[in-house]
Homo-oligomer: A and B are copies of this chain.
């Protein structure tokens, strides 16, 4: 989703999905609801609240339907759900998600490991979902986003061809998604790579069809990558409160880019996110209480805001 008229950048919170699916702890439904409500109250406009996968595979997501239904009652919030396949999409649509997102891994090895499907099989699912959506009345039809995962490299395959990413982005559009996002699932991306891939994908599918980027901070480059994406005109950035999720194969390495640090950066740069940074920082306490054994990441929460801080810190003074 593009940023609205009144904001410059849409920060799309993915912690309740990407964060919670990556840790062992199962967050109680009541805490998920409190988290989502508190972030929305802090001004977050879009939250990926869950993944519609079987509970035996991801018990953390067993309450997906209830969480979506609850989140949809919050005024002004766009409620996203990740779906791995047609079945998941049916459930997400039935629950009333405003938007569904389906990952297609550029690394076919990863696609088979993650979704147990080849590229062709994933694209078949996309076509089936698109057909269902097309048959729905427009006013109830959720948005449909395809995400090219492992777009910057894969822990199984190593380097991923940029040509392949561009080809898959176009294939997703042809199969019926509304827009395509790029995911650095493995935290392999660097700013130069990101810039060149964003340009190529935009040129292949149209500038307005690149929905956003999903970055991880696995090697500490997350916010540098976010800055590069912004400078390429990307206005939607995924992030996770507390950088929740960690990285199973890399102890100490954080998962998604940290919402608190991202919002501080954008706000300090004078960009409008619609988010109240102080209220956002306070939401962290919900995670700390609900997940006492999980590590939270982020620097701004520990360091606090600069003394006398206000939006556009130093920028207007120096301009």
* Interface residues of A, Cβ cutoff 8 Å to B: 152-162, 186-193, 196-197, 200, 217-221, 223-224, 226-228, 247, 250-254, 258, 261, 264-265, 268-270, 298-300, 302-304, 306-309, 312-315, 317-319
Residue of B nearest to A268 (CB): B190
CB-CB < 8 A to A227: which residues of B?
Answer: 191, 224, 227-228
Residue of B nearest to A243 (CB): B220
CB distance from A18 to the nearest CB of B (A): 17
Q: Select one of B219, B302, B319 contacting A299, CB under 8 A.
A: B219
Kindly report how many copies of this chain are found in the complex they form together: 2
Best-buried of A152, A188, A217, A314 by chain B (most CB within 10 Å): A314
**Contact at A220–B219, with CB atoms within 8 Å?**
no
Known A264-B219, A308-B159: A302·B251 in contact at CB below 8 Å? yes
CB distance from A3 to the nearest CB of B (A): 17
Known A228-B227, A252-B302, A253-B299: A197·B318 in contact at CB below 8 Å? yes
**Contact at B224–A298, with CB atoms within 8 Å?**
no
CB distance from A298 to the nearest CB of B (A): 7
**Contact at B220–A308, with CB atoms within 8 Å?**
no
Known A153-B313, A154-B307, A223-B220: A196·B319 in contact at CB below 8 Å? yes
Residue of B nearest to A191 (CB): B227
**Contact at A261–B299, with CB atoms within 8 Å?**
no
**Contact at A192–B268, with CB atoms within 8 Å?**
yes
CB-CB < 8 A to A319: which residues of B?
Answer: 196
CB distance from A205 to the nearest CB of B (A): 15
Alpha-carbon distance between A67 and B317 when the two chains are bound, in angstroms: 41
Residue of B nearest to A152 (CB): B314
Residue of B nearest to A157 (CB): B307
Alpha-carbon distance between A157 and B308 when the two chains are bound, in angstroms: 9
Residue of B nearest to A187 (CB): B303
**Contact at B219–A315, with CB atoms within 8 Å?**
no
Residue of B nearest to A159 (CB): B308
Residue of B nearest to A151 (CB): B314
Best-buried of A190, A200, A250, A269 by chain B (most CB within 10 Å): A190
**Contact at A265–B191, with CB atoms within 8 Å?**
yes
Known A191-B269, A227-B191, A265-B224: A314·B252 in contact at CB below 8 Å? no
Known A253-B302, A270-B192, A299-B253: A313·B159 in contact at CB below 8 Å? yes
CB distance from A247 to the nearest CB of B (A): 7
CB-CB < 8 A to A269: which residues of B?
Answer: 190-193
**Contact at B261–A221, with CB atoms within 8 Å?**
yes
CB-CB < 8 A to A156: which residues of B?
Answer: 307
CB-CB < 8 A to A159: which residues of B?
Answer: 306, 308, 313-314, 317
CB-CB < 8 A to A217: which residues of B?
Answer: 299
CB distance from A219 to the nearest CB of B (A): 5
Beyond contacts A158-B307, A221-B265, A250-B302: 15 other A-B pairs, Cβ-Cβ < 8 A, are A153-B307, A159-B308, A159-B313, A159-B314, A187-B303, A188-B314, A193-B318, A197-B314, A217-B299, A218-B303, A219-B261, A220-B258, A220-B264, A220-B265, A220-B298
